[in-house]
Amino acid sequence: MDHKLPPYATLGQRIWFYAFRVICGLIFFFLIAPILTIIPLSFNAESFFTFTPGMLALDPEAYSLRHYVDFFTNPDWQQALRNSVMIAPVATILSVSLGTLAAIGLSQSHVPFKGAIMAILISPMIVPLIISAAGMYFFYSRIGLQGTYWGVVLAHAALGIPFVIITVTATLVGFDRSLTRAAASLGANPVTTFFRIQMPLILPGVISGGLFAFITSFDEVVVVIFVGSAAQQTLPWQMFTGLREQISPTILAVATILVVISIGLLTVVELLRRRSERLRGMSPG
């Protein structure tokens, strides 16, 4: 089926054409509606999770920012936010720096055991989180990292690494090796070559890998519950506790804020992807 209905289509084809669009519309609705529903609910003036009659009548009285105020004034949520902000960037820096180096190494033409190494490096993404969390809980307990800030940072860094590897290797796939050779033959040393030639080209991949790693840590809840202790209670952990115990609408306010952050990050990644493709001349944005 094409995106336009040919003028000679039969009635059946017409019906199917529109029915298909409606089905797709419904699926898109399924994808996006749950996320959008919670945004208006987070402005609910009451502590309920349903649309009050006032909200449906668009009565401004029925809307309020009280749940946002609660988020920004409640010490528990603020502590959780602080913890998240202290953990995620450090974990990201760790995974990006180590991951980028390794991705460059992996993109060389003769790497022994490449397949096996790749499989190990990607495994944190594939191994079920509960298994990673259980393993880390026992092992980090043994070496005294359980319940510490660095324990959580290291665990999150490990979880973020596959994303960095994948995005950076993807940008390196289209990388023209003759550029580094040209630089080398013109007398640049490897370090100069890296920073002047390679880095600018793979930077979009590095940044989007970094964003993925950041969001992984910022959103992660299973591992932090096991590896962390109260002093490392992050935003998702606080949300998880809240969801299991008292779903105060403050959670919806936090959720809305996180959605806005996600939209922002998504935009950045998309722009970077286009820039990277343009730079490598793969496809017009």
Which neighbouring-strand residues pair with 135?
none
Q: Which is nearer to other proteins, 197 or 215 (CB)?
A: 215
Binding mask 192-231 for other proteins (x = CB under 8 A): ----------------x---x--x--xx-xx---x--xxx
The verdict on 86 binding other proteins (CB under 8 A) reads no
Cβ atoms within 10 Å of 73's Cβ, excluding its own: 9
The angle subtended at Cα 208 by Cα 200 and Cα 282, nearest 5°, is 60
Residues 11, 58, 143, 186: which binds other proteins (CB under 8 A)? Answer: 143
Four-CA torsion 66, 70, 73, 74, nearest 10 degrees = 170
Choose one: 60-68, 150-158, 179-187, 196-204; the region binding other proteins (CB under 8 A): 150-158
Q: Which is nearer to other proteins, 38 or 279 (CB)?
A: 38
Backbone φ and ψ of 249, nearest 5°: -60, -15
Choose one: 62-70, 128-136, 181-189, 195-203; the region binding other proteins (CB under 8 A): 128-136
Provide Rg for the chain, Cα atoms: 24
In angstroms, what is the minimal distance from the CB of 1 to other proteins?
A: 7
How large is the angle between the packed helices 11-42 and 250-279, nearest 10 degrees? 120
Instruction: Render 113-168 in DSSP notation, one character per residue.
Output: THHHHHHHHHHHHHS-HHHHHHHHHHHHHHTT-TTSHHHHHHHHHHHHHHHHHHHH
In angstroms, what is the minimal distance from the CB of 186 to other proteins?
A: 19
The verdict on 144 binding other proteins (CB under 8 A) reads yes
Binding mask 16-55 for other proteins (x = CB under 8 A): x---xx-xx--xx-xxx-xx-xx--x-------xxx----
How large is the angle between the packed helices 250-279 and 235-244, nearest 10 degrees? 140
Choose one: 1-9, 61-69, 177-185, 195-203; the region binding other proteins (CB under 8 A): 1-9
The verdict on 130 binding other proteins (CB under 8 A) reads yes
Cβ atoms within 10 Å of 249's Cβ, excluding its own: 23
In angstroms, what is the minimal distance from the CB of 190 to other proteins?
A: 8
Of 84, 130, 129, 95, the closest CA to residue 232 belongs to 84
- Kindly determine how many residues on this chain lie close enough to bind other proteins according to the rule CB under 8 A: 107
The verdict on 110 binding other proteins (CB under 8 A) reads yes
